[in-house]
Amino acid sequence: MLRWVRQQLGFDPPHQSDTRTIYIANRFPQHGHYVPQKFADNRIISSKYTVWNFVPKNLFEQFRRVANFYFLIIFLVQLMIDTPTSPITSGLPLFFVITVTAIKQGYEDWLRHKADNEVNGAPVYVVRSGGLVKTRSKNIRVGDIVRVAKDETFPVDLVLLSSDRVDGSCHVTTASLDGETNLKTHVAVPETAVLQSVANLDKLVAVIECQQPEADLYRFVGRITISQQTEEIVRPLGPESLLLRGARLKNTKEIFGVAVYTGMETKMALNYKSKSQKRSAVEKSMNSFLIIYLIILLFEAILSTILKYAWQAEEKWDEPWYNGKTEHERNSSKILRFISDFLAFLVLYNFIIPISLYVTVEMQKFLGSFFIGWDLDLYHEETNQRAQVNTSDLNEELGQVEYVFTDKTGTLTENEMQFRECSINGIKYQEVNGKLTPEGFSEDSPDGNRHSLMKEEELFLKAVCLCHTVQINADQTDGADGPWHANGIAAPLEYYASSPDEKALVEAASRVGVVFTGTSGDSMEIKSLGKPERYKLLHVLEFDPNRRRMSVIVESPSGEKLLFTKGAESSILPRSKSGEIDKTRIHVDEFALKGLRTLCVAYRRFTPEEYQEVGKRLHEARTALQQREERLADVFNFIERDLELLGATGVEDKLQEKVQETIEALRLAGIKVWVLTGDKHETAVSVSLSCGHFHRTMNILELVQHKSDSTCAEQLRQLAKRIKEDHVIQHGLVVDGTSLSLALREHEKLFMDVCKNCSAVLCCRMAPLQKAKVVRLLKTSPEKPITLAIGDGANDVSMIQEAHVGIGIMGKEGRQAVRNSDYAIARFKFLSKLLFVHGHFYYIRIATLVQYFFYKNVCFITPQFLYQFFCLFSQQTLYDSVYLTLYNICFTSLPVLIYSLFEQHVHPHVLQSKPVLYRDISKNAHLGFKPFLYWTILGFFHAFVFFYGSYLLMGEDTSLLGNGQILKPNRQMMFGNWTFGTLVFTVMVITVTMKMALETHFWTWINHFVTWGSIVFYFIFSLFYGGIIWPFLHTQDMYFVFVQLLSSGSAWFAIILIVVACLFLDVVKKVLYRHLQPTSTEKAQLTEAGSGINCLDSMCCVSAGEAAGASLRGVLERVTGRCGAGRPSRCGISLGSLCCRRLSYKLEPEEPAAVDV
């Protein structure tokens, strides 16, 4: 029970032992001395809270905020000492803020729990009590034997026991873990491989000893001890025996494995970065501003306390006749009185700190996040997926991104290869309707409609079909003689390949007549135009990045020994002595310019003597105990020479739609794009070129294959020197995982300097935690840029959690990235609207919201401070306590909240088509010190006008009465301190509301309703509050005050005059700045107006036949920039033409000449 409680609170102690002992099927020793080890359950947890820790943990996080902690202190002070205002004035808003925030964060975490429950509740089959038992994933225990069927995901980390194959092998794809789509082969130990039935497995008595969990995906050390009759057999276990959670079973009907790591101890979970509370730059700015306002507050409180005692130094003011001291006050310590007075002033002025700012920001973020999910531009129709918001705390951060880190496989690409062109014997071919057609010939031309293959074409296709690591779906290998097409070609087989290129090539060859039908023992079987042929596989010369090629040596049906080789043109062409070398080189360059991935294909015939020498050398190298890799490399080079070139292939890695346009738009917005992938160097560079991440004109620098610190450092210095010398042209950097580790060890600063001077950076062969390390490196650099990471697999989770903003792609590699991201979208192309439109709007809205709150609170509390100079610093309040409580909650809260939800200062289509506008808001431009200083000074200026304007206009010809009221006999009007305070308060409410109206560019009926409605509500409330004697109030200070105030014509004149005086200078400043120093955004607003976009496609654009009371959700959807195209509107323009027109703008120098919207 205690351990369970500790687990719930997150305090479960780590394992003490360095190894773990696992009894398969949980058959523990029968002797009484054995104490079972404790292991984690199989639940995956991505949530932050549990039922038990929600309250303390959430309260701790909330009171880390300066304003919340400050108001808690003020509330406690009001409870402990006699203060001018009631504790309710601080306690009620604080309770409201804490409650709303807790509900919002609790709801978001409930969504995470819901997603976790889907994963943890997935059905699985476990061997128990001699049979298969269906249970839930979360119920799997370490030691359980689990059955996994074809195409299912492994629910835990398993040691493979057996499969449906005799040799105990299975094929697995780890695309969701490391981004690699190739199949990996895993094998069971021979003693368990034969146990293919549940009954046999249930009799297995074995023990596994292995290391404790670690994050490295490619490392596993263990051993299995199998008890067979009277002997014990010990076998080593390595990575080839371990099936990782998140990987998927392929090309194998079923496997059985024993669970060794479960839940948060699986390698997939250990590669998640621990979940931490992300805080936006805006929130950090808010805390800085709050500290400044705290200093202002302390200054005002200290000054007031000092002035009070300076004033009371004169005996007549120390104890005036109307305010005598009590005996206790006379006898109390002066120090205690000073502290008490200081705290009382602190409470009196405490409303300068806007506690309701936080709750308004929370509501704005929470409600505003629905716009992303409702935006039809972010909806992917093919998969029926909308954008998803997992946390709304970072909405405005979408408008501040400076670096984008993106995965490649499944994020930039569709993860689908397609054969496009090939070159055979110097002639270019394309595939047309399942036939190889020479370039320039159509299907109707005499040479374009052939039913046979030329000798060179057939040999080329046979090379493609034999030189690979492709495997065939186990369900189809027995049926290779099955259905045939009319032209004698076999029906398509389902292939699995070690690389997507190989799969695309073998599939293309099968479509044009040469079909790879599988392997049988040491033979490879193909069918050429329906004629079966069997080639004996003699040797495989594996691919490696140094040679950049792979080869097979086969024996043809006629007994001839042949070498087939394929690889990069740089490794094949120099080794070719015959064939159309020059023509093929030209074709390869043409393919590359089209963004195709290229491979060259060659072959060599061996004489019996040559093959005997080759076989001898290969055997010696492969059995060598010393320097085996170097010897093999020498032998491979000896074999792969004097080649006869057959041709080249061009394969397209299908990019997602509009990836190039999105990356280019990000560049125009001033955002640098880094690609972080686990893929091979060549593959990654090819995709970077095809997607526009690297330009053809870019100077590509490489930092790859370094194994020592000294060589890596020297290469970095050379790269830095080259960049300095060639500073005119753009540079791109390619770095691999090994070199990156060396560079970050001791040369971090030099590496960062090189990276920052490159327009694009590509990191390949990256482990998941390395991706997170690169993000953290940029994130913590001196400039502290805002980072965004986007990916679709479990291997991207660490990177997504490390970045300021994490975005998951709803792709084909599982849902781990989506579950652990802040936002999820269906396609990479949606990133542009997410940043340029939603991010831009959110940032502008919240920047104005934050500064407006500080402004209106300065306006609110400064007259209170000034009033103390007129009441002998007696801590008398200027406003009634009800007004103090409701000012931020009711009278001025709604206009700014609605502004922060609906404001569109520029049309969404303009923002998306002009990415350069994103630069106007970068680096927290609207929440810097200058804008903050402007709003603060404006607040003080308005406060002085409120107070002294009211004083000068209304308070000159009055005589002071004993009850604090001023009587004007000729008008029978009471004008005292409450009337004066009410006049100041009335002017203030109208002015700050009108100021918000001046900041609003995008007016909807909701804006009109809350802006003018707030002012009307204030007047109606004040009339009711002051017009009735309320029995539950212990004082009736405001009785009839407001009615008497409004009955005075001079009061109305004063209100109008003061409001105009306050706002006039602000209007003049805005007009001058917009005409003399307009920003790019303001220019876009003017151009937009000149282009006829005078009615945004939003709530104000209601169809002629549409009911005024349309559903709120429909109305809100239109705010996000989606109107029903082509519907007649009251705007006087066609919304269809508005959404699809070609807009022209006065462009900045770095922008393209024209943009299609």
Give the residue numbers marked as catalytic: 407
Q: Which of 406, 412, 430, 416 is nearest to 654 (CA)?
A: 416
- Residues 1151, 916 contacting (CB under 8 angstroms): yes
Q: Is 539 helix (H, G, I), strand (E, B) or coil?
A: strand
- Residues 775, 799 contacting (CB under 8 angstroms): yes
Measured in degrees and rounded to the nearest 5, phi and psi for residue 1064 equal -60, -50
Q: Are strands 131-136 and 123-128 parallel, antiparallel or unpaired?
A: antiparallel
Chain-centre distance for alpha carbon 1129 = 37
Q: How many CB atoms lie within 10 A of CB 895?
A: 26
| 707: amino acid identity, one letter | K
Q: Are strands 254-261 and 157-163 parallel, antiparallel or unpaired?
A: antiparallel
- Residues 187, 241 contacting (CB under 8 angstroms): yes
Measured in degrees and rounded to the nearest 5, phi and psi for residue 169 equal -100, 160
| 857: amino acid identity, one letter | N
Taking CA atoms, 819 is separated from 16, 46, 215, in Å, by 31, 8, 20
Q: Which of 380, 394, 296 is nearest to 345 (CA)?
A: 296
Q: How many CB atoms lie within 10 A of CB 987?
A: 27
- Sign of the Cα torsion 251, 253, 257, 262 reads positive
Structure tokens at 172: 């697995």
Query: The tokens 């009735």 sit on which residue?
Result: 1028
Question: Residue 169 belongs to what H/E stretch?
Answer: strand 169-173
Neighbouring residues of 1089: CB distance < 8 A, sequence distance ≥ 6: none
Q: Is 464 helix (H, G, I), strand (E, B) or coil?
A: helix
Neighbouring residues of 980: CB distance < 8 A, sequence distance ≥ 6: 878, 950, 951, 954, 955
| 102: amino acid identity, one letter | A
Rounded to whole angstroms, the Cα distance separating 624 from 622 reads: 6
| 635: amino acid identity, one letter | V
Question: Residue 99 belongs to what H/E stretch?
Answer: helix 88-120
Query: The tokens 């997992």 sit on which residue?
Result: 390
Structure tokens at 314: 């004169």
Taking CA atoms, 233 is separated from 190, 198, 226, 835, in Å, by 11, 21, 5, 60
Chain-centre distance for alpha carbon 387 = 12
Taking CA atoms, 16 is separated from 9, 20, 210, 260, in Å, by 20, 10, 14, 17
Residue 455 has, within 13 A of its CA and on its CB side, a CA count of: 0
Rounded to whole angstroms, the Cα distance separating 179 from 175 reads: 4
Q: Which of 900, 894, 992 is nearest to 945 (CA)?
A: 992
- Sign of the Cα torsion 26, 27, 29, 33 reads positive
Structure tokens at 1015: 């002012």
Written in H, E and C, the secondary structure of 1026-1061 is HHCCCCCCCCCCCCCHHHHHHCCHHHHHHHHHHHHH
Contacts 24+ apart (CB under 8 A), 713-722: 713/746, 713/747, 713/750, 715/739, 716/743, 716/747, 716/750, 716/751, 716/754, 717/750, 719/754, 720/750, 720/753, 720/754, 720/757
